[in-house]
Chain A
Amino acid sequence: MGALVLAAGDEFTPPTAEAFNLPPIFGWVTKPMLLIVLSVVLIIGFFLLSSRKLSVVPGKGQFLVESFYDFGRNNIAREQIGSRDFLRFLPLILALFSFVLVNNLFGIIPILQFPTMSHIGFPLALSVLVVYPVYHYAGIRRHGLGGYLKHQLVPPGAPKPVYLLLTPIEFFTKFIMNPLTLAIRVFAAMFAGHLLIMLFGISAEFLLLHGDGITKIFSLFSFGGALAMTFIEVLIMSIQAFIFALLSANYIGAAMAEEH
């Protein structure tokens, strides 16, 4: 690529992290903030409208909504938390899943074209300020503070000396790393994915505009790459939303579980 760029005679500047530093649209309001608000409006509108007239025998539209709802309900919440308690956490899991999913998908929707979760502040708000307190609170309410700490930090079944090592690791994992990795996972995926699409897009444009003769053809490859990445991104965006909701449910389920 470097040779091509040199041949074109112009300096090619690949997109950097700076590309994510969007200027405020007005006042201190930035594009991701507007996107977040838009996503909430969309999701609330979708659910409220689609659940307005639910019938016992579903029509085609209701069937689709129910499929989405059931996916969050049965495949994520009930599977991870258990059929006894999952209903209490269902709104949370459903909100996490739809919220992350829609904000991720903004990355490939024309005009919007920015995955909100590539700004780490948003996934951090969800994981550290929502999921983290919820699963600890659920665990403490179920087992009591002492019982919960013992349950979380001293998993039964290991030989005594191992706990010297195991307990600090468990503490580190459950009280520090879990919320951070939960946020970083989706943030990094969205950040990298968006960067890749940008790279392909910008290089395609650059090759087309500044390439001479034959090198213009390579623009097609870059464009194809951007297209392919977009499709892959759809998959990754959905999977990341699923993983975010799944792990949140998993943490809650693990905190409330009777056995380790």
Chain B
Amino acid sequence: MILAAEEYNPVMPHVAEVIIGLIAFLLLLWVLRKFVVPRFEKLYEERTAKIEGGIEKAEKAQAEAEQALEQYKAQLAEARTEAAKIRDDARLEAETIKAELRAEAEQEAGRIVAQGEAQLQQQRAQLVAELRADLGRNSVALASRIVGESLEDEARRRGTVDRFLTELDAGADGAGARN
């Protein structure tokens, strides 16, 4: 051991080795600094940029989607109110039309009834007039048959008949009022 230590001392640096080690290391360092590290760092920057860009893009897309959703919702609400308004209008219109139709129908009915009444009145008046003439003639004929004589005098005959009819009318009117 002692002999060996004299011949070779492992703790004493070998100058040539120090120099070669240093040169070799500096060469390695230079290559790493000049080429390798920049390449990797550039890659990392790109990666970071890409990831951040992706995130940004996604955020933008999300914002756009939200905006579109808002828009659709607003449009939907608008459409709904419009539909409700249209429905209301339609109902209102229907009511008006119904009311108008009803009024018209009532008017028509009134008109028809009035017309009927007028016609009836007219027919009645006609009938009464006809009956009055018939009754006069029949009464005269009957009276002349009963009396057995012909009432030649036109003027007298008319006066008698008219008086009789007036009395008859008054009696009939009195009976009608009582009814």
Given contacts A16-B4, A44-B31, A92-B29, contact A121 B24 (CB under 8 A): no
Contacts of A125 in B (CB 8 A): 17-19, 21-22, 25
Q: A18-B7, A121-B17 are in contact. Are A47 and B25 (CB under 8 A)?
A: no
- Say yes or no for B20: interface residue by CB 8 A criterion: yes
* In contact, A56 and B46 (Cβ under 8 angstroms): yes
Is the pair A126, B25 in contact by a Cβ cutoff of 8 Å?
yes
CA of A36 to CA of B25, assembled, Å: 9
Q: Residue of B at shortest CB range from A53?
A: B39
Contact assessment for A90 and B10 in the assembled complex, using a CB-CB cutoff below 8 Å: no
Q: Which residue of the partner chain A has the closest CB to B27? A: A40
* Chain B interface helix/strand/loop/mixed: helix
CA distance A99 to B17 in the complex (A): 15
Residues of A with C-beta under 8 A to B4: 16-18
Residue B175 at the chain A interface, CB threshold 8 Å: no
Q: Count the A-B residue pairs with Cβ separation under 8 angstroms: how many?
A: 114
Known contacts A39-B24, A126-B25: A95-B40 contact under CB 8 Å:
no
In the complex, how many angstroms separate the beta carbon of B158 from the nearest chain A beta carbon? 135
In whole angstroms, how far apart are the Cα atoms of A56 and B9 in the complex? Answer: 51
With both beta carbons as reference points, the residue of chain A lying nearest to B11 in the complex is identified as: A120
A48 & B13 in contact (Cβ 8 Å cutoff): no
A145 within 8 A of B: no
Q: A56-B46, A191-B10 are in contact. Are A126 and B32 (CB under 8 A)?
A: no
- Among A39, A44, A98, max chain B CB count under 10 A is at A44
Q: Which has the most chain A C-beta neighbours within 10 Å: B9, B19, B22, B33?
A: B22
CA distance A124 to B37 in the complex (A): 25
Taking a contact as CB atoms under 8 Å apart, the answer to whether A33 and B40 are in contact is no
Q: Is there an interface contact between B13 and A47, defined as CB atoms closer than 8 Å?
A: no
User: Are A51 and B39 in contact, with the CB atoms below 8 A?
Assistant: yes
Question: Which residues in B have their C-beta under 8 angstroms from that of A20?
Answer: 8, 10
Please determine whether B22 and A48 come into contact, CB atoms closer than 8 angstroms: no
Tell me the complex Cα distance, A125–B15, Å: 9
**Are B40 and A69 in contact, with the CB atoms below 8 A?**
yes
Known: A28-B16, A36-B20, A54-B43. A95 touches B25 (CB 8 A): yes
| Cβ proximity bits A28-66 to B, threshold 8 Å, 1 near / 0 not | 101011001101100110011001001110000000001
Q: Which residue of A lies closest to B5 (CB)?
A: A17
What's the minimum C-beta distance from B48 to chain A, rounded to whole angstroms? 10
Residues of chain B lying within 8 A (CB to CB) of residue A21: 7-8
Find A17's partner among B8, B13, B22 (CB 8 Å cutoff): B8
Interchain Cβ contacts under 8 Å between A and B, 30 examples: A16-B4, A17-B1, A17-B5, A17-B8, A18-B4, A28-B16, A33-B17, A36-B21, A40-B28, A47-B35, A48-B31, A48-B35, A48-B36, A51-B39, A54-B39, A73-B40, A91-B33, A92-B33, A94-B36, A99-B28, A119-B10, A119-B14, A120-B11, A120-B12, A120-B13, A121-B14, A121-B15, A121-B18, A125-B19, A125-B22
Known: A17-B1, A51-B40. 18 other contacts (CB 8 A): A16-B4, A17-B8, A21-B8, A39-B24, A40-B28, A44-B31, A47-B32, A54-B40, A56-B43, A56-B46, A69-B40, A87-B41, A94-B32, A94-B36, A95-B28, A119-B13, A121-B18, A125-B25
The 3 closest A-B pairs by CB, nearest first: A121-B17, A21-B8, A91-B33
Interface residues of A (CB under 8 A from B): 16-18, 20-21, 28, 30, 32-33, 36-37, 39-40, 43-44, 47-48, 51, 54-56, 66, 69, 73, 87, 90-92, 94-95, 98-99, 118-122, 124-126, 129-130, 191
